[in-house]
Chain A
Amino acid sequence: MASPARSSLRGREAETRSPSREETVLGIIATARAKRPKFRDERITMAHGAGGKATAGLIEGLLVPAFASPALDVLGDAGVLTVDGTGLALTTDAFVVTPLRFPGGSIGELAVNGTVNDLAMAGARPQALSLSLILEEGLEAEVLRAEVEAIAGAARDAGVAIVTGDTKVVERGHADQMYVTTAGVGRVDARASLSPAALRPGDHLLLSGPVGRHGTAIMLARGEFELGAEVASDTRSLWPAADALLDAAGPGLRCLRDATRGGVASALNELARASGVAMLVREEAVPVDAVVAGAAEILGIDPMQVANEGVLVAAVAPQHADAALAALRGAPGCADAAVVGEVRTDPAGLVIVETAFGGKRVMDQLVGDPLPRIC
């Protein structure tokens, strides 16, 4: 039987029921969001490849616990290790994009730039790549030759050598034309001390260019939507941008992220979770091309969740932000770079958007998969 004290408490609860219930539930959600995701699925679905919540569950719930190591636990774009006093960054990436060629690039360029960018985000100057090809029986030699040339060209542009490789062929139907895997090694730059743990409230968030171009370019190239528009992928090496930021901000550059699958939303959410801070993004400040915004509007997706292949997010100490922005704008492809928000203390682990309309909301990671096989 309820004691009198308890029943009077109930009475009070009943009076203020909805706000307190709402607050409690929002609290539960906030806690759940800030937690490391779990992997509880019975089968792999396409959502596990989309760079959103299911991907995070797979990586942080299955892979990281299995291979636990200090370099991996950081969950950076590349793993950093020290060999005889030299900081080395190591990364690997597989590419399964369809179609192989699209406006602005092809699988070959993605395979080089994607890996180079993962190194650059660790503050490492890319040195060398490995290249592994999985080819489908029947692939036309011309298609392969074009991609090999694209790989060579992109490697030249990025200043990296391809120093080793492997090829495999599988039966027709067991792969879709060709898959490319690259691994890269880079030397961590002496100016760099990058880590999500370095983020401080008040740090400014810089975005290197307009968001959502790669994902939109692929979507339009597939011809699934009859939109009379063309968008070029933004695939490019981000090392020059990282180099410029390191020069301008030095130790004031806290952290870099490559906003690939899952878009800027995933990059910021990962950072917020890893560093236990909050991020505030001003929607109006985020550069979006009109065509990308239009396509996203029609399809009901958020450009912030659409993939990029040449956009980075940088957190910079406030006193270095102006210099960093100026330097970033001088890097190739980064003329539209902007300060889009700042690091806050509360609510820890979450990304908040201030909408252009004046309201605020949480910007979450993608759930499900609007567009498979984009890189």
Chain B
Amino acid sequence: MRFVDEFREAELGRTLAREILAAVEPGRHYKLMEVCGGHTHSIYKYGINDLLPENVELVHGPGCPVCVIPMGRVDDAIAIAHEDGVVFTCFGDMMRVPGSNGTLQEAKAAGADVRMVYSPLDALRIAKQHPEREVVFFAIGFETTAPSTALTLRRARAEGVENFSVFCNHVNIVPPLRALMDSPDLRLDGFLGPGHVSTVVGARPLEFIPAQYGKPVVVSGFEPVDILQSVLMLLRQLAEGRCEVENQYTRVVPYEGNLRALEVMAEVFELRPHFEWRGLGFISHSGLKLSAAYAEHDAELRHHVPGVRVADPKACQCGEVLKGVIKPYECKVFGSACTPERPIGTCMVSSEGACAAYYNYGRFAREREVV
């Protein structure tokens, strides 16, 4: 595939690995956080850790859209799905996320009409095909997916599709990053910034990280070569004593973001005062809901949503994993009670979740390639 294969070239990877080795200061330990679940997935899928020196540690961040959805919201989704006449649509991963009493997949087996879609537009199409049914879309994701939900809503309103609504769980990346920085149990040297989110919001919103917290950021793509190059850029900033936001993913990320996407988001969404994050608790101004202009398409207003806050399962340490405080395998239930087939926590469900990635692609042997 053009524009993809180039970024998976093994020779280029080995060259970067050598440069990384040359850029590290012997004896110094580097702890870098990859913000996105997409990064985590690539790191495991391609075995990128095998190409890094022992003293460069990658820590998983909070940027996995499925992972941050709290149990209570899944319960709300299941309650909507069980209402008479509702067709409940969601992305495939969300079907398997456990609420306090089962998953959407189990709700489907028990009679709810739950359908997997690949985009909110698919959900809108179902609504147009079935005007007699109430079609609800379970919207999740960061600024990456929010514009497509916004555009779908705009189209639904323009076409007068009255039986379509959105159960909005969109979130912003900056508030949890700020919460993370303020958290005392973490010491990081730098960040691989969110590539896809930045295509929408640009790199500017990340400037507070070097400015206020003194940590370098490199906005990174998702292919293995992207990630290695970003690690190298971070190490060079550290070596040269620089501290700024750099953009490795220039082929898609404009520094100012995508103004049209931001405009449609501003029209369709507004900030919630608080939103609960799995494992991180409530974070102010971190979640989006539909604006008053789109209230008629707001599933939370059209359907009965229990809205009960459910505590995370005691054994589950998704919160610590999302903050990068512990590695997946350090969680008490990882690999024993919590597996991809029977997940307890969300990090084990999504292929972007740190736990699922580690479980599926975890290295079976620990010997490192000598570079």
Query: Which residues of A are at the interface with B, using a C-beta cutoff of 8 A?
Result: 18-19, 21-23, 25-26, 28-30, 32, 42-47, 53-54, 57, 224-225, 290, 293-294, 297, 299-300, 347, 350, 352, 355-362, 364, 367-368, 370
B336 within 8 A of A: yes
Which residues does chain A contribute within 8 Å of B14, judged by CB atoms? 358
Q: In the bound complex, how far is the Cα of B14 from the Cα of A294, in angstroms?
A: 25
Given contacts A42-B106, A299-B118, A370-B92, contact A361 B45 (CB under 8 A): yes
Q: In the bound complex, how far is the Cα of B333 from the Cα of A186, in angstroms?
A: 48
Which residues does chain A contribute within 8 Å of B95, judged by CB atoms? 368
Minimum CB–CB distance for A90 against chain B, Å: 31
Q: In the bound complex, how far is the Cα of B331 from the Cα of A21, in angstroms?
A: 10
Which residues does chain B contribute within 8 Å of A357, judged by CB atoms? 8, 10, 13, 46-48, 224
Given contacts A43-B106, A225-B118, A355-B45, contact A362 B50 (CB under 8 A): no
Whether the pair B363, A28 counts as a contact (CB closer than 8 A) is no
Which residue of B360, B364, B366 contacts A19 across the interface (Cβ within 8 Å)? B366
Minimum CB–CB distance for B334 against chain A, Å: 6
- Per-residue interface assignment for chain B, residues 343 to 371, with 1 indicating a CB less than 8 Å from any chain A CB and 0 otherwise: 00000000100000001111111100100
Which residues does chain A contribute within 8 Å of B44, judged by CB atoms? 361
Q: In the bound complex, how far is the Cα of B342 from the Cα of A42, in angstroms?
A: 13
Whether the pair A359, B48 counts as a contact (CB closer than 8 A) is yes
Given contacts A299-B118, A359-B51, contact A32 B109 (CB under 8 A): no
Q: In the bound complex, how far is the Cα of B340 from the Cα of A364, in angstroms?
A: 11
Which residue of A46, A299, A360 contacts B105 across the interface (Cβ within 8 Å)? A46
Which residue of A44, A293, A356 contacts B10 across the interface (Cβ within 8 Å)? A356
- Per-residue interface assignment for chain B, residues 76 to 116, with 1 indicating a CB less than 8 Å from any chain A CB and 0 otherwise: 00000000000000001001100000000110111000000
Which residue of A45, A224, A225 contacts B109 across the interface (Cβ within 8 Å)? A45
B327 within 8 A of A: yes
Whether the pair B336, A28 counts as a contact (CB closer than 8 A) is yes
Q: In the bound complex, how far is the Cα of B335 from the Cα of A293, in angstroms?
A: 30
Whether the pair A18, B105 counts as a contact (CB closer than 8 A) is no
B293 within 8 A of A: no
Which residues does chain B contribute within 8 Å of A297, judged by CB atoms? 1, 4
Which residue of A21, A26, A42, A356 contacts B362 across the interface (Cβ within 8 Å)? A26
Whether the pair B364, A360 counts as a contact (CB closer than 8 A) is yes
Q: In the bound complex, how far is the Cα of B228 from the Cα of A358, in angstroms?
A: 13
Whether the pair A362, B1 counts as a contact (CB closer than 8 A) is no
Given contacts A359-B46, A359-B47, A368-B96, contact A44 B109 (CB under 8 A): yes
Whether the pair B50, A300 counts as a contact (CB closer than 8 A) is no
Which residues does chain A contribute within 8 Å of B105, judged by CB atoms? 45-47, 368
Q: In the bound complex, how far is the Cα of B46 from the Cα of A217, in angstroms?
A: 27
Q: In the bound complex, how far is the Cα of B361 from the Cα of A370, in angstroms?
A: 19
Which residue of B46, B110, B336, B366 contacts A23 across the interface (Cβ within 8 Å)? B366
B122 within 8 A of A: yes
B282 within 8 A of A: no
Q: In the bound complex, how far is the Cα of B335 from the Cα of A53, in angstroms?
A: 15
Which residues does chain A contribute within 8 Å of B4, judged by CB atoms? 297
Whether the pair B109, A25 counts as a contact (CB closer than 8 A) is no
Minimum CB–CB distance for A340 against chain B, Å: 17
Whether the pair B360, A364 counts as a contact (CB closer than 8 A) is yes
Q: In the bound complex, how far is the Cα of B330 from the Cα of A359, in angstroms?
A: 23
Main secondary structure of the interface of B (DSSP, over half): helix
5 additional contacts (CB under 8 A) given A360-B364, A362-B362: A22-B327, A28-B335, A53-B341, A224-B118, A357-B47
Q: 9 A-B pairs, CB-CB below 8 angstroms? A: A28-B336, A29-B359, A45-B108, A355-B47, A359-B51, A360-B363, A361-B45, A361-B360, A367-B96
Q: In the bound complex, how far is the Cα of B46 from the Cα of A43, in angstroms?
A: 36
Given contacts A29-B359, A45-B105, A358-B50, contact A18 B330 (CB under 8 A): yes
Which residue of A44, A224, A300 contacts B351 across the interface (Cβ within 8 Å)? A300
Q: In the bound complex, how far is the Cα of B10 from the Cα of A29, in angstroms?
A: 29
Q: In the bound complex, how far is the Cα of B108 from the Cα of A224, in angstroms?
A: 20
Minimum CB–CB distance for A306 against chain B, Å: 14
Which residues does chain A contribute within 8 Å of B360, judged by CB atoms? 361-362, 364
Given contacts A46-B105, A297-B1, contact A361 B361 (CB under 8 A): yes
Whether the pair B1, A29 counts as a contact (CB closer than 8 A) is no
Which residue of B47, B50, B51, B334 contacts A25 across the interface (Cβ within 8 Å)? B334
Nearest A residue to B105, CB-CB: A45
Which residue of B8, B96, B109, B335 contacts A29 across the interface (Cβ within 8 Å)? B335
Interface residues of B in 275-334 (CB under 8 A from A): 327, 329-330, 334
Q: In the bound complex, how far is the Cα of B330 from the Cα of A40, in angstroms?
A: 26
Which residues does chain A contribute within 8 Å of B340, judged by CB atoms? 53, 364, 367
Whether the pair A361, B363 counts as a contact (CB closer than 8 A) is yes
Minimum CB–CB distance for A194 against chain B, Å: 28
Which residues does chain A contribute within 8 Å of B8, judged by CB atoms? 356-357
Q: In the bound complex, how far is the Cα of B362 from the Cα of A347, in angstroms?
A: 13
Q: In the bound complex, how far is the Cα of B106 from the Cα of A366, in angstroms?
A: 18
Nearest B residue to A29, CB-CB: B335
Which residues does chain A contribute within 8 Å of B366, judged by CB atoms? 19, 22-23
Best-surrounded residue of B8, B46, B336 (most CB of chain A within 10 A): B46
B339 within 8 A of A: yes
Which residues does chain B contribute within 8 Å of A355, judged by CB atoms? 45-47
Nearest B residue to A361, CB-CB: B361
Which residue of A43, A347, A358, A367 contacts B364 across the interface (Cβ within 8 Å)? A347
Whether the pair B106, A360 counts as a contact (CB closer than 8 A) is no
Whether the pair B1, A294 counts as a contact (CB closer than 8 A) is yes
Which residues does chain B contribute within 8 Å of A54, judged by CB atoms? 341
Whether the pair B106, A358 counts as a contact (CB closer than 8 A) is no
Minimum CB–CB distance for B16 against chain A, Å: 11
Q: In the bound complex, how far is the Cα of B14 from the Cα of A270, in angstroms?
A: 34
Which residues does chain A contribute within 8 Å of B365, judged by CB atoms? 360
Which residue of A26, A44, A358, A370 contacts B47 across the interface (Cβ within 8 Å)? A358
Whether the pair B47, A18 counts as a contact (CB closer than 8 A) is no
Nearest B residue to A347, CB-CB: B364
Which residues does chain A contribute within 8 Å of B364, judged by CB atoms? 26, 30, 347, 350, 352, 360, 362
Nearest A residue to B49, CB-CB: A359
Q: In the bound complex, how far is the Cα of B363 from the Cα of A32, in angstroms?
A: 15
